[in-house]
Amino acid sequence: MGEYFFMFIDVVFGFIALFLLVKFLGKSQLNALTPFDFISAIILGEFVGNALFDKKAGITEMAFVIVLWGLLLYIVEMISQRYKGSRGFLEGQPSIVIYQGRLMYDALKKNRLDINQLQHLLRDKDVFSMEEVEYALLETDGKVSVLKKSDYQTPTKSDMNIPPSPVKLSRTLISDGEVIHDNLKEAKLTEQWLMQELKQQNFSSVEEVCYAEWQEDQQKLLVMPYYTNTNDE
């Protein structure tokens, strides 16, 4: 009877500790945004599970490993937020696997993704033929984001007897108050043009902008400032 009581105490403590840890670290551990987040969530569960059936491990040992692991995760999160250059290494970067309707085999090979796996991911997006895809991005969580060709978008222009128009991929020009010079160059735009556009939208500097993207198909710059009011959530 005593063993069940101690197991009850361990389960309750582990539940509360993991709940508080997830609250502290944020929602990324729940969403498993990256493979690292997914593995971290599994390891946290293993820590608690092993402690329940290890007679030598009690609440003190369980608390130590949970706090230590949570501290390491917190340090990694702080590094990725403070040093933007580390995000690609720590969190990974999306890869374009289909570009302008062409299959990018090198990107598939680099991410160890075969054609059958790609087709499975596309079907999960209601795409049953690669002919429908203009752009496909393999995200850091292993999912695929798809931008269909104009003929296959809903409602389709072919059904409405409207001539197809070229599909353009939006480019991020500003992220976290910093200009993405590579994307600016690919869009054949200049930093001087970007500053003029920002001034027209009442922004005096790049540091005031949280996110900005160039929507080439609409010839429009979408600018989003830093919002701090969460009353509408």
The pLDDT, as a whole number, for residue 198 is 93
Give 159-165's long-range contacts (Cβ < 8 A, gap of 24+).
165/217
Digitized pLDDT (tens) for each residue of the chain, 233 residues in all = 566 666 667 667 766 776 676 666 554 444 445 556 666 667 766 766 666 666 666 667 777 777 777 777 778 778 777 777 766 666 677 889 999 888 888 888 888 888 888 889 999 998 888 888 999 999 877 889 999 988 888 776 777 777 877 777 788 999 888 899 999 998 899 999 999 999 999 999 999 998 899 988 788 899 988 765 544 44
| Contact predicate 127/133, CB 8 Å | yes
Q: Which amino acid is at 40?
A: S
Q: Does the domain spanning 171-225 belong to CATH 3.30.310.80?
A: no
In this prediction the pTM is 0.55
Tokens 């353009």 -> residue: 168
| Contact predicate 167/150, CB 8 Å | yes
Q: Degrees (nearest 5) of the Cα angle 74, 137, 36? A: 25
The pLDDT, as a whole number, for residue 29 is 46
**Ranges of each domain in the chain:** 2-88, 94-152, 171-225
The pLDDT, as a whole number, for residue 233 is 46
For domain 94-152, the CATH superfamily is: bsu07140 like domains (3.30.240.20)
The pLDDT, as a whole number, for residue 30 is 47
Domain 94-152 shares a fold with domain 171-225: yes
The pLDDT, as a whole number, for residue 190 is 92
List 172's β-bridge partners, or say none: 213
